[in-house]
């Protein structure tokens, strides 16, 4: 089994590393050089036609891409500790919050990174006004999430889950590209400190 990824600050490979660390699964990551665009090479596109990371290659040659799909595979083969919920309603809530983290929290960060950050200017046509508009969208997402965290210590409630992994990888990457957390969002800041203190956060 091989896991293809990239080191920090790349957020998506970090999601899988954190998940594996929470599970206690030791699977070394084969690093793909994003700066030389190795992920767009024919060799890697044979594993992932979109030329993205992370990608998991099983022993029989089957490949799985997309972070949540990779993590779901490991949840199935090693259910404990449960990171996608336990009961039907718990599993539905984790799925709901994963989607919300991707669409509400991560989307504006990704749009800012693509369309307003100088590091990506040479990689695509940037629409800077659109990119900058996502600064406010991300600020609004923070305020919304801060309110939602009044109902529990973690994103989906009482238990740490894949939703928290999706969120912390986004928040930390956002800070790295110049979109810090607003310190007025106290619950969000406390959540970040709580999750960052977990050993898996260093993965």
CATH T-level fold of 88-202: Glutathione S-transferase Yfyf (Class Pi); Chain A, domain 2 (1.20.1050)
**What is the reported pTM?**
0.95
Residue with tokens 């030329």: 51
pLDDT at 69 over 90: yes
- What is the pLDDT averaged over residues 37-45? 95
- What is the pLDDT averaged over residues 55-62? 97
pLDDT of residue 35: 84
Q: Are 167 and 105 in contact (CB under 8 A)?
A: yes
Tell me how crowded residue 193 is: count the other CB atoms within 10 A of its CB.
Answer: 9
The CATH code of domain 2-77 reads 3.40.30.10
DSSP 118: G
CA distance readout (Å), 45 to 4, 53, 64, 129: 12, 10, 13, 32
Burial 2-17 (b: 16+ CB within 10 A, else e): ebbbbeeebbbbbbbb
When the pLDDT of each residue in the chain is averaged and rounded to a whole number, the result is 96
Domain spans of the chain?
A: 2-77, 88-202
């Amino acid at each position: 089994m091989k896991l293809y990824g990239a080191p920090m600050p790349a957020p998506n490979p970090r999601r899988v590393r954190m998940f594996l660390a929470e599970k206690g699964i030791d699977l070394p990551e084969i690093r793909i050089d994003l700066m030389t665009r190795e992920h767009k090479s024919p060799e890697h596109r044979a594993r992932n036609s979109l030329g993205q990371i992370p990608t998991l290659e099983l022993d029989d040659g089957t490949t799985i891409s997309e972070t949540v799909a990779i993590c779901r595979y490991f949840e199935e083969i090693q259910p404990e500790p449960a990171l996608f919920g336990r009961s039907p309603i718990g599993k539905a809530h984790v799925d709901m919050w994963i989607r919300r983290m991707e669409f509400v929290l991560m989307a504006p960060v990704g749009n800012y990174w693509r369309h307003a950050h100088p590091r990506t200017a040479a990689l695509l046509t940037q629409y800077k006004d659109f990119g900058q508009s996502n600064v406010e969208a991300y600020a609004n997402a923070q305020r919304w999430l801060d309110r939602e965290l009044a109902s529990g210590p973690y994103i989906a409630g009482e238990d740490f889950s894949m939703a928290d992994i999706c969120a912390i990888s986004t928040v930390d990457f956002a800070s790295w590209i110049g979109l810090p957390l607003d310190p007025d969002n106290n619950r969000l800041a406390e959540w970040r400190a709580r999750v960052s203190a977990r050993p898996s956060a260093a993965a």
